[in-house]
Amino acid sequence: MRKSLLTAAVAMCVLVAGTAVSAPTVAPAVVPARSPLAAHPPGAVIASAHALATDAGLRVIAEGGNAFDAAVAVASTLGVVEPESSGIGGGDFFLLHDARTGKDLFVDARETAPAAVSAAQYLDANGHLDHDKALDGALAAGIPGAPAGWAWIAEHYGKLSLRQDLAPAIAIARDGFPVYARMVSEYSERSTVMRRWPATLAVYEPGGKPLAVGDTFKQPELAATLQALADGGADGFYRGEVASKIVAAVNATGGHWTLADLSGYRVKLREPMTFAYHQWHIVTAPPPSSGGVALAELLNILSAWDLRAVDTATRVHLIVEAMRRAYRDRTFYLGDPDFVRDMPIARLTSQAYADQLRKGIAMDKATPSSSLPGVAPAKVGAHTTHFSIIDAQGNYVAATLTVNTTYGSGLVAAGTGVLLNNEMDDFALQAGVPNAYGVTGYDANKVEPGKRPLSSMSPTFMISPDKVVVLGTPGGSRIITMVLLGILGFDDGLTPQQVVALPRFHHQYLPDSISLEPHALAADVIAKLVAMGYRIDQRNKTWGNMQAVEWNRRRNTLSGGTDPRNPVGKVGMQRMNLTP
Ligand code: DON
């Protein structure tokens, strides 16, 4: 199985990147079995979805910063160079490992619903969910959390000042950077909506026409807003002139925000979700992400089988059956833990529950989702972003950042350069009605003032006696199954570059079909799955943008992988004598 996955992964590299990406090779292990564990990594490694962001992180490390400073530099730079994916107007999850204390921390800088929110605001005249209101413009936006997250991390964990950490992003916003193909194609997908607002047009169609590949994209107002954050800390964004302009812009275009919504925004510090899988200690996202709970449930179910000993069709079948069951539970039980006090997390993540679910899985037959108690269809998302960092002190950061769907709500708040998210669509705005990712929800994820919408973003660490792995990806509801396949890939001994290139398959309970990337499975495997009762949804597009880094403590080497589906990503390292 491992061999066939590898072969497919290499084929995929070539296929999706369009250029020949050299086949990753596994270095033969010539390490003595009991070589001592290194206390510190031999340098720093960063994998992100844009080379300028990776370079920004390396720059602050070269200036004496640590992984946390680098995280602020990478996140803020991604917001400038990948506006389709994340930014100062969005929300972020940061998973931190502090080498000094040995502790892990989850910094929840997710957007919140404004105080004046009500579910009725998102309905049309017939009482149906109005997807335009949920996804486009002021009503779609939650109160941004990203800037508060950056300021908090710089202040509490960084070695440098917030000003130093934001300097690369500010310079790139001011001086510009070359527009790349994905920015242009995503813009053309979203431009009908974005053209509704003159302030958005002024940024994205300077000179009256859309940006083209190779143009220099400058965002002077965004540079000024970032500078206000750098100078004033969180207050530079959440109070004063920037806040007043944002509130005015939102309310002038159909929203209902107050200055208090902004000044009242706080990051939440949460205990990460942790559990064991084989020799790995997994550290990942707790609610309001559904990722950690789902991953624990998935891997608890899978842990009883030797996935390396079965044929590919059986492996995919067992993984898909676990996916089906975990996504069903996501639908019903999970939401913002500050609002939903009775989430049955201990039960959902218990081995006993996994044992019970496993009993319902036949070795040779698909379980129709309709036969499981329960819920609705999905679109592929290609936005949001993730980066992974390990530094020379042994700190690590996994961060997934988002404005939700491509270019968020499409609304730039006039005078600030801030492109606002459309994270409100991640709430179950109407019970049982699928959102942009085809996932549904009920009471636990209903919209309420000040509440955070349920997320799938799953920044993750995997720790074994020998290795530290940091990984994550965008992809909407597919994030969790991609991280699952990533964990299984590392467990199979693959390198980060091999893992990020792995072909992907996905099942999310409803729709009741396995979606496949192009060439993800061989024809005979698909035929076996069909014979087991599966419906196959063969997609003609890939999904995800995984960024992973690894510290091998036996060899004391660092390595990284950037998703070959995204040609502008980069793995950067700070020192020589590291494996590429
Ligand atoms: O928080 C979430 O789960 C979504 N807003 C993430 C969106 C996403 O990953 C889009 N990417 N393709």
Domains of the chain, by residue range, sit at 43-93+107-269+383-445, 271-379+457-565
Residue nearest to atom 2 of ligand 1 (CA): 455
| Mean pLDDT on 402-428 | 97
Cα 363 to middle of ligand 1, angstroms: 32
Is the four-CA dihedral 443, 444, 449, 455 of positive or negative sign? negative
Main-chain dihedrals φ then ψ at residue 114, nearest 5 degrees: -70, 160
Tokens of 209: 């026409």
Sole residue written with tokens 């965004």? 222
Q: Which helix (H) or strand (E) holds 46?
A: strand 45-48
Residue nearest to ligand 1 atom 8, measured at CA: 476
Tell me the pLDDT band of 373, cut-offs 50, 70 and 90.
low
Q: Is the pLDDT of residue 2 over 80?
A: no
Residue 316's identity, in one-letter code, is V
Catalytic residue among 225, 314, 384, 416: 384
Under 8 Å between Cβ of 526 and 312: no
Average pLDDT over residues 101-124: 98
- The mean pLDDT value for 272-282 works out to 98
For residue 159, how far is its CA from the centre of ligand 1 (angstroms)?
Answer: 30
Query: In 10 A of CB 210, how many CB atoms?
Result: 18
pLDDT band at 575 (very low <50, low <70, confident <90, very high): confident
Cα 323 to Cα 295: distance, rounded to the nearest angstrom: 9
CA of 473 to the centre of ligand 1 (A): 9
CA of 421 to the centre of ligand 1 (A): 11
Q: Ligand 1 within 6 A of 404 CB? A: yes
Instruction: Tell me the best of 380, 456, 480 to mutate to test the pocket of ligand 1, counting ligand atoms within 8 Å of each CB and taking the most.
Output: 456
Q: Which atom of ligand 1 is nearest to the CA of 426?
A: 5
| Whether residue 426 has its Cβ less than 6 Å from ligand 1 | yes
Cα separation, 421 vs 403, whole angstroms: 4
Q: Which residue's structure tokens are 């690894």?
A: 550
For residue range 338-361, what is the model confidence (pLDDT) as tens digits?
Answer: 999 889 999 999 999 999 999 999
**Class level of CATH domain 271-379+457-565:** alpha beta
pLDDT confidence band for 34 (50 / 70 / 90):
low
Point out the ligand 1 atom lying closest to the alpha carbon of residue 382: 12
Residue 237 to residue 183: CA distance in whole angstroms: 26
CB 457 within 8 A of CB 178: no
Q: Considering the chain, what percentage of its residues have pLDDT values greater than 90? A: 86
Is 476 touching ligand 1 by the criterion CB < 6 Å? yes
Residue 398 forms beta bridges with which residues?
A: 95, 388
Strands 467-472 and 460-463: antiparallel
Assigned token pair, 396: 């690590």
Is there an atom of ligand 1 within 6 Å of 297 CB? no
Both tokens of 431, joined, read 């019970």
**What is the Å distance from ligand 1's center to 208 Cα?**
30
Mean pLDDT of 468-495: 97
Of ligand 1's listed atoms, the one at least distance from the Cα of 423 is 5
- Whether ligand 1 lies within 6 angstroms of the CB of 86 is answered as no
User: What's the CA-to-centroid distance between 101 and ligand 1, angstroms?
Assistant: 31
> Is pLDDT at 32 greater than 70 in this prediction?
no
How many A from CA of 424 to the centre of ligand 1? 12
Q: Is 334 in the pocket of ligand 1 (CB under 6 A)?
A: no
**Sequence-distant (≥ 6) Cβ neighbours of residue 341 within 8 angstroms:** none
pLDDT of residue 15: 22
The secondary structure of 501-531, three-state, reads HCCCEECCCCCCCEEECCCCCCHHHHHHHHH
d(CA 226, CA 217): 16
Angle made by CA atoms 513, 519, 523, in degrees to the nearest 5:
75
Does the C-beta of 456 come closer than 6 Å to ligand 1? yes
Nearest protein CA to atom 1 of ligand 1, as residue: 455
Report pTM: 0.92
Cα 160 to ligand 1 centroid, rounded to whole Å: 30
Interatomic CA distance for residues 413 and 87, integer angstroms: 13
Q: Is the peptide bond before 32 cis (omega within 30 degrees of 0)?
A: no
Residue 541 buriedness (CB in 10 A; 0-12 / 13-18 / 19+) = exposed
CA distance 320 to 534: 10
The answer to whether 208 touches 198, Cβ cutoff 8 Å, is: no
Answer whether residue 248 shows pLDDT above 80.
yes
CB-count exposure of residue 518 (10 Å: 0-12, 13-18, 19+): middle
Let me know if 101 is exposed, middle or buried by CB neighbors in 10 A (0-12, 13-18, 19+): exposed
Q: Tell me, what's the pLDDT at 17?
A: 25
Count other Cβ atoms within 10 Å, centred on residue 105. 18
Pocket test for ligand 1, best of 384, 455, 506 (most atoms within 8 A of CB): 384
CB of 285 within 6 A of ligand 1: the answer is: no
Establish whether residue 228 lines the binding site of ligand 1, counting it when its CB lies within 6 angstroms of any ligand atom: no
- Given this model, what pLDDT does residue 579 score? 47
Ligand 1: which atom is nearest the Cα of residue 479? 9
pLDDT at 370: 83
Of 134, 150, 99, give the one whose Cα is nearest residue 421: 134
Q: Does any ligand 1 atom lie closer than 6 A to the CB of residue 457?
A: yes
E strand segments, 285-422: 385-390, 396-402, 412-413, 418-419
Please tell me the predicted confidence (pLDDT) of residue 288. 98
Neighbouring residues of 132: CB distance < 8 A, sequence distance ≥ 6? none
Asked if 384 is an active-site residue, the reply is: yes
Mean pLDDT of 274-299: 98
302-331 burial, b at 16+ Cβ within 10 Å, e below that, comes to bbebebeeeebbbbbbbbbbbbbbbbbbbb
Q: Is the pLDDT of residue 179 over 70?
A: yes
Tell me the chain's radius of gyration from C-alpha atoms: 22
